[in-house]
A and B are shown apart, each in its own frame.
With several copies, the nearest count.
Chain A
Amino acid sequence: MNARVFVTLKNGVLDPQGKAIEGALDSLGFDNVDAVRQGKIFDLKLQATSADEAEKEIAKMCEKLLANTVIENYSIELRD
């Protein structure tokens, strides 16, 4: 089974990378960009008997490792 995990910064957490990119885009002439936030994706290949099980398992991975829940949110997308 393939899944994609999205990890993004919580609202209100400062994003130095996003901010720097915003500035860089601006100086490249892309002045129509109002905001940039950077996040991560993890493409996982895993063995699971059901979508439900996979989702639960991945949520555990997120809680335990993939996301720092102090500052980050995550979401899961099963692909096939």
Chain B
Amino acid sequence: MKSAVILFPGLNRDRDMLAALEKITGHKPHAIWHGDAELPKVDLVVVPGGFSYGDYLRAGAIAARSPALAEVKKHADAGGLTLGVCNGFQILTEAGLLPGALMRNRDLKFLCKTIHLKAENTTSAFTNQYAEQPVFPCPIAHHDGNYTIDPDGLKQLQDNDQIAFRYCDADGNVTQAANPNGSIDDIAGILNAKGNVLGMMPHPENLIEKAHGGNEGRFIVESLVEAVA
């Protein structure tokens, strides 16, 4: 599978993502500097985590308006697989590739810890490898992960099976207490209506090998490898 990672100044989990993609797919992903407009022909485009433009104004807002994002949008509109993690998720929502918005965490603090996720949709190109083991621990590290959307939008996400991941406890119970940031309906990640764009706050790229204490983060990319095979 060929992939590309878009780089903006201020992103800082780009190296994590590049390394993870290489380890999982066996191919070096393209690292695309935002100013170098053209996007190569790839199966997957990833917008990684960090603090693009310092997260000044709003998280992801400035990167979302860049020409590079217009290219990503073209790729996604044409059905290309697109993944946004953390700041990448924020950028994709700001750019309108995914619905809703990410606001300051409920407790207003940056939070880095290992939480539990439940894959709610286990049929999408991104999540089908979670069918057997939908509940897994996963790290989060963010300040603005409090997902919000209007009631109609939420209903659409629910009805269309667009909720990819929810926060849960170790036993898979989706509860308020297991929700680290106050996001609506305990949402940790969503798909677009067509299912070719995934945005998520947790960091699967930091969960791919023994040194990370688990490898469940691989499943997303492994699902994709299978999907494009």
Contacts and interface: CB of A to CB of B under 8 A. Distances in A.
B54 A16 contact: yes
Interface size class of B (residues with CB under 8 A): 20 to 34
B140 interface: no
Given A17-B108, A65-B65, A71-B148, A24 B53 contact: yes
A20 B57 contact: yes
Contact of A16 (B66, B93, B94, B104): B104
A17 B57 contact: yes
Contact of A70 (B65, B100, B105, B107): B100
B103 A14 contact: yes
Interface in A21-64: 21, 23-24, 27-28, 38, 64
20 contacts: A12-B150, A14-B103, A16-B108, A16-B146, A16-B182, A17-B56, A17-B104, A19-B56, A20-B53, A20-B56, A20-B108, A24-B53, A24-B61, A28-B65, A64-B65, A65-B65, A68-B58, A68-B101, A70-B99, A71-B148
Interface of A: 12-17, 19-21, 23-24, 27-28, 38, 64-66, 68, 70-71
